[in-house]
Amino acid sequence: MKQTDVLVLGGLSGITAGISCRRHFPDKKVTLVRKEGTVLIPCGIPYIYGTVGGPQNNVVPDGLLESNGIELIKDEAVEVDRAKKVVTLKGGETISYDKLVFATGSVPLIPPIPGVDKKNVFPVKKEFDYLGKVLDGMKSVKNLVIIGGGFIGVEFADECRKGRDITVTVVEALPRCLQMAMDDEFCAEAETKLTEAGVKILVNSKVEAITGGDSVSGVRLADGTELKADMVILGIGAVPNTELAKKSGLELGYRNTIKVDRYMQSYNDPDVFACGDCAEKPSFFTGRPIGVMLASIATSEARIAGSNLYSMTHQNCGTVSVFSTMINGRAFGVAGLTERLAKSNAMRYVIGTAESPDTHPGGMPNSCLTKVKLIFAKDTGVILGGSISGGKSVGEMTNVLSACIMHRMTADDIVQFQMGTHPALTSSPIAYPIVTAACKALLPMRTK
């Protein structure tokens, strides 16, 4: 039997947990068992079908493991005996561990739609060979239907139109694409960009059946509309991959995620930790578990888990939920609560908005208008969330908002924010939109 101090099961967050463990406990032997031969950059998957050109250009290099002294075993863990602290692999090998980290991630949600198992209907799996086959299959496609207008759906739609003269239709059940993630005004902007890219959008539309023989030939909507389709992509979300954890007797919580505490330690075994999509996540704002699954959260949790394996040092403050995307050249980002979420949580809030070019003067080449919307708690002035659209700087500006939220800054704090500015790189210091939006929220906040 093979022996290791720390055994990690997983890919993206597994690598991060392993590296974190080696950084904090360099004398520990870390072994990573991974089902997939190659780890894809999950967020880059839609770009395989356009910008990056293939799965081979979208991988996390295994060299990261080697350079951090982590042993990699490409196999699937099929049994965990927690009493004996032994994991059995599909290939028959057994490994004894001192500490075990579950980072087994998530798998795509397959909706119970008639016809969903037809040829050329593809859930978005994070698998190298599979995604390569989808890319090959796309060569002969004329009509692509994407079910789901969330991040995955709209990014796929935008990318699949690039360099292909095909009809791409996004079918979304809610009144807006990206509605779960953004407020209406940003959804509307995103939909406009998507339409300008030649994508057809059908909102308020439920898919009733995927039609055809062996292979898909169409999609029927609940209102009777028939769409032609020779390929369907399912972009409606993911579910945690926790069958093995369940089989090993670990307690599962919200939506079948592994129950963990703030140290990422499992509830019912002090030697088992979990991180990433397979682990339960408390909201930063309410402490209640939430269903957000993001690579950025997964890796943050993995760093915490890795650092706590032999001494409890870091705590998970909860999921702020920060993400960004790019649609037909325009970037969108959200950190924390949207106005929709603040409303649904019955919070008393105040909004501040601002717009400014992301260069100064605005006439600089490639200048882009940035729109910022900030949400503050009315009674305390603490920032609850922010949404931004604009150029590439939106990605890092959204991350700045996350830092403000995590440190519970108030509108008054943000008004005094000292930013660095440069004509080619940022908005003007007179009109820096995060600061302006905070300034504009102050008066309504003080008006009782």
Ligand X SMILES: Cc1cc2nc3c(=O)[nH]c(=O)nc-3n(C[C@H](O)[C@H](O)[C@H](O)COP(=O)(O)OP(=O)(O)OC[C@H]3O[C@@H](n4cnc5c(N)ncnc54)[C@H](O)[C@@H]3O)c2cc1C
b/e 149-171 (16+ beta carbons within 10 angstroms → b) = bbbbbbbbbbbbbeebebbbbbb
From candidates 19, 22, 35, 146, binder to ligand X by CB under 6 A: 35
Between 179 and 242, name the residue whose CB sits nearer to ligand X: 242
From candidates 8, 11, 131, 442, binder to ligand X by CB under 6 A: 11
Residues in the chain: 448
Please, which contacts does 134-142 make with residues 24 or more away whose CB atoms are closer than 8 Å?
134/49, 134/233, 135/48, 135/49, 135/54, 135/55, 137/231, 138/49, 138/164, 138/231, 140/230, 141/166, 141/230, 141/231, 142/166, 142/167, 142/228, 142/230
From candidates 6, 18, 30, 34, binder to ligand X by CB under 6 A: 34
From candidates 18, 55, 105, 336, binder to ligand X by CB under 6 A: 105
User: Min. distance of Cβ 447 from ligand X in angstroms?
Assistant: 38
Q: Residues 240, 280: contact at Cβ < 8 Å?
A: no
Between 89 and 377, name the residue whose CB sits nearer to ligand X: 89
User: Min. distance of Cβ 183 from ligand X in angstroms?
Assistant: 19
Where does this chain touch ligand X (CB under 6 A) — which range of 9-17, 200-208, 215-223, 393-401? 9-17
Q: Could you tell me which residues come within 8 angstroms of residue 146 by beta carbon, excluding any fewer than 6 positions away?
A: 153, 156, 157, 160, 168, 169, 170, 171, 232, 233, 235
Q: Between 151-161 and 184-196, two packed helices, what is the crossing angle to 10 degrees? A: 20
Q: What is the x/- site pattern for ligand X, positions 141-160, by CB under 6 A? A: -----------x--------
Q: Binding to ligand X by residue 42, rule CB under 6 A?
A: yes
Single-letter code of the amino acid located at 354: A
Q: What is the x/- site pattern for ligand X, positions 194-233, by CB under 6 A? A: ----------------------------------------
User: Min. distance of Cβ 13 from ligand X in angstroms?
Assistant: 3
Which two three-digit tokens encode residue 32?
């990573």
- The CB density around residue 431, as the number of other CB atoms within 10 Å, is 16
Furthest C-alpha separation in the chain: 70
Q: Residues 442, 415: contact at Cβ < 8 Å?
A: yes
User: Min. distance of Cβ 104 from ligand X in angstroms?
Assistant: 4
User: Min. distance of Cβ 380 from ligand X in angstroms?
Assistant: 29
From candidates 6, 7, 8, 10, binder to ligand X by CB under 6 A: 10
Q: Which H or E element spans position 395?
A: helix 394-406
Sign of the four-CA dihedral 421, 407, 315, 342? negative
Single-letter code of the amino acid located at 111: P
Q: Binding to ligand X by residue 36, rule CB under 6 A?
A: yes
- What whole-number distance in Å separates Cα of residue 61 and Cα of residue 64? 6
Q: What is the x/- site pattern for ligand X, positions 117-146, by CB under 6 A? A: -------x-x--------------------
Between 11 and 115, name the residue whose CB sits nearer to ligand X: 11
- What is the edge-to-edge ordering of all strands in the sheet holding 322-327? 322-327, 330-336, 383-390, 369-377, 349-357
User: Min. distance of Cβ 299 from ligand X in angstroms?
Assistant: 7
Where does this chain touch ligand X (CB under 6 A) — which range of 35-43, 248-256, 384-392, 411-419? 35-43
**Coil vs helix vs strand at 432:** coil
Number of residues that bind ligand X (CB under 6 A): 34
Where does this chain touch ligand X (CB under 6 A) — which range of 36-44, 137-145, 334-342, 384-392? 36-44
User: Min. distance of Cβ 401 from ligand X in angstroms?
Assistant: 15
Q: Binding to ligand X by residue 39, rule CB under 6 A?
A: yes
Which two three-digit tokens encode residue 123?
């859930």
Q: Binding to ligand X by residue 402, rule CB under 6 A?
A: no
Phi-psi region of 204 (alpha: psi -120 to 50; beta: other; left: phi over 0): left
Between 45 and 437, name the residue whose CB sits nearer to ligand X: 45
Question: Considering only residues 261-300, where is the footprint of ligand X by CB under 6 A?
Answer: 276-277, 293-296, 298
* Residues found near ligand X in the complex (CB under 6 A): 9-14, 33-36, 39, 42-43, 45-46, 76-77, 103-106, 124, 126, 152, 241, 244, 276-277, 293-296, 298, 323
